[in-house]
Chains A and B, each alone.
Chain A
């Protein structure tokens, strides 16, 4: 270990060391991990007309301790096809968006990594800049472009290509466009990071040995940028599954996505136990992608 010398020096002052570790650890345990335990708890409670709107899990009355574990919320999710359709719709839409992001983002990152050095910073800033403006406003931009009286329809009808406006708003197509548009920078960034680190001599060696360009790309470049592909895809796919703003603004009432359903259960129906159960099932679905992402990310963090 390169750091071992430094590490032993830090080890010498045990108390200070513990205090330094405790600061972020306790904050995150309290405000990140503990809340999940509460979601699990509320998902097992019964809805009630009260403030807050759920029943207790543990009750002590007449010298008897009763513990209620209400699986009803989960059974309800399974019995109603609306929820299953919403989960499926989310996974499908997120998957399609991730694939489109990858197909656009990979060549972009590749071109950036091959660009002359003095251009690279500028290109990187150009790709990232939209993500520093406002997510909400960038989704809003597509409302004006895709709607029936929007820019595309006006343009096409003005040119006489179509007679009646194309219905693009409130479709899955609009949601996919919105997700691709909003998340593309997060796909390009890790891909670019991996592709710039790519050792050029490997590519030269492949070409010296007579490998064709496409062959070199498939056998050398692609496998070596796999970490970037996985990180980028997870950065798009996982948040997209739970996306609320994009299906709400571009998907309309016809597109079922689980983030929107959860929002409505919580804010409109005030059914906190069902909303919690929906969140727990979503977390379960995303557990494998999240662990996968974490493994690549922590390899990056610790190496």
Chain B
């Protein structure tokens, strides 16, 4: 043992500082949600009154429901679209329109939201003029908009998994006479299902989180949670939003912890099996 303690590596220090930078502001939000004062910045004692106020706020509660509904359907459709797009790009070799498809799959990842929002709104307005549909904008137009940009994220996640996947299993199935469609549903899909779950969850959180695109394509009827939060936050800080933030952070942390726990357990199981195979 050396007497001189090893100086921690510069990058390790930066990692700790970076994580503190990411988590301290969220910790501040949580702490002040229990503040009894209306002023978010002055501590006046412990209270849960803002949580009670939050659960009495009908506008926020109905917005939560609208957002969850849109996110559920958008994520589900995005998984269908994104998976097919990823499959086509990784398994179909060359075809006409491949460049167009791959550009349209990667562009939404970086496209500024104001551009996507504006362009989709103009599309819906023109469609309404030409065909009469959509007569009024709301949950359905938000669903289409969210499905479109979320499917790009799903496609990237699923394509990464498909590339890693050994295609010889699919080839074997087809050599044994399984038609392509059957092979896809009974061989490929089960193997990539963890990526589908990951893609669905990512799309779900992205849809829940979107303010800008939803604001453009929404009509008078549909208010999503970010739209309600934004109009309240614009007026300044409000402890009710802190309470909401705390609940969101709690939910996401819990879900992440569960995901981590199961992934670690699966990994441990795999290690045991590998060791047994080595021994046997």
- Chain A: residues with CB nearer than 8 A to chain B? 1-7, 9-11, 13, 16-17, 20-21, 23-25, 27-29, 31-36, 38-39, 42, 52, 104-105, 107-108, 110-112, 114, 121-123, 125-127, 129-130, 132-138, 140-145, 147, 149-151, 154, 181, 184-185, 188, 234-235, 238-239, 241-245, 248-249, 259, 262-263, 266-267, 272, 275-276, 279, 282-283, 286, 289-290, 293-294, 297-298, 300-303
Neighbouring B residues of A24 by C-beta, 8 Å: 81-82, 84-85, 88, 101, 105, 151, 155
Tell me whether B148 and A138 are in contact (CB under 8 A).
Answer: no
In the complex, A266 Cα to B64 Cα: how many Å?
A: 26
Neighbouring A residues of B144 by C-beta, 8 Å: 31
Interface residue count on the B side (C-beta < 8 Å): 103
- Take A3-B167, A108-B18 as given contacts and tell me if A32 and B104 are in contact as well, using a CB distance cutoff of 8 Å: yes
Neighbouring B residues of A23 by C-beta, 8 Å: 81, 84
SS class, residues of chain B in contact with chain A: helix
In the complex, A104 Cα to B13 Cα: how many Å?
A: 11
Tell me whether A259 and B89 are in contact (CB under 8 A).
Answer: no
Task: Give the shortest distance, in Å, between B89 (CB) and chain A (any CB).
Answer: 6
Tell me whether B209 and A136 are in contact (CB under 8 A).
Answer: yes
Q: Is B120 an interface residue, CB under 8 A from the partner?
A: yes
Neighbouring A residues of B26 by C-beta, 8 Å: 130, 133, 138, 141
Contact of B118 among A145, A147, A275 (CB under 8 A): A275
Tell me whether A290 and B110 are in contact (CB under 8 A).
Answer: yes
Tell me whether B29 and A144 are in contact (CB under 8 A).
Answer: yes
In the complex, A143 Cα to B248 Cα: how many Å?
A: 18
In the complex, A138 Cα to B241 Cα: how many Å?
A: 11
Interface string of B78-90 (1 = CB under 8 A from A): 0001101101111
B52-60, B121-129, B189-197, B272-280 - interface stretch:
B121-129
- Take A28-B105, A133-B249, A303-B163 as given contacts and tell me if A111 and B123 are in contact as well, using a CB distance cutoff of 8 Å: no
Neighbouring B residues of A33 by C-beta, 8 Å: 100, 104
- Apart from A28-B101, A129-B252, what are 9 other A-B pairs with CB-CB below 8 Å? A24-B101, A39-B115, A39-B118, A121-B264, A135-B211, A259-B114, A279-B118, A301-B89, A301-B90
Q: Is B70 an interface residue, CB under 8 A from the partner?
A: no
Tell me whether B107 and A32 are in contact (CB under 8 A).
Answer: yes
Tell me whether B14 and A25 are in contact (CB under 8 A).
Answer: no
Tell me whether A129 and B25 are in contact (CB under 8 A).
Answer: no
Q: Is B28 an interface residue, CB under 8 A from the partner?
A: yes
Task: Give the shortest distance, in Å, between B183 (CB) and chain A (any CB).
Answer: 9
List the count of A-B residue pairs having beta carbons below 8 Å apart: 288
Tell me whether A239 and B123 are in contact (CB under 8 A).
Answer: no
Q: Which 6 A-B pairs have the closest CB atoms?
A: A242-B112, A35-B119, A107-B14, A7-B93, A111-B15, A24-B85
**Which of A4, A31, A297 is most buried by chain B, counting CB atoms within 10 A of its CB?**
A31
Neighbouring A residues of B93 by C-beta, 8 Å: 1, 3-4, 7, 10-11
Q: Is B131 an interface residue, CB under 8 A from the partner?
A: no
Q: Is B9 an interface residue, CB under 8 A from the partner?
A: yes
In the complex, A132 Cα to B203 Cα: how many Å?
A: 10
Contact of A135 among B32, B209, B216 (CB under 8 A): B209
- Take A9-B174, A35-B123, A111-B14 as given contacts and tell me if A141 and B29 are in contact as well, using a CB distance cutoff of 8 Å: yes
Neighbouring A residues of B12 by C-beta, 8 Å: 111
Tell me whether A121 and B263 are in contact (CB under 8 A).
Answer: yes
Task: Give the shortest distance, in Å, between B270 (CB) and chain A (any CB).
Answer: 13
Tell me whether A141 and B110 are in contact (CB under 8 A).
Answer: no
Contact of A239 among B113, B151, B181, B211 (CB under 8 A): B113
In the complex, A202 Cα to B153 Cα: how many Å?
A: 33
- Take A10-B91, A107-B14 as given contacts and tell me if A125 and B114 are in contact as well, using a CB distance cutoff of 8 Å: no
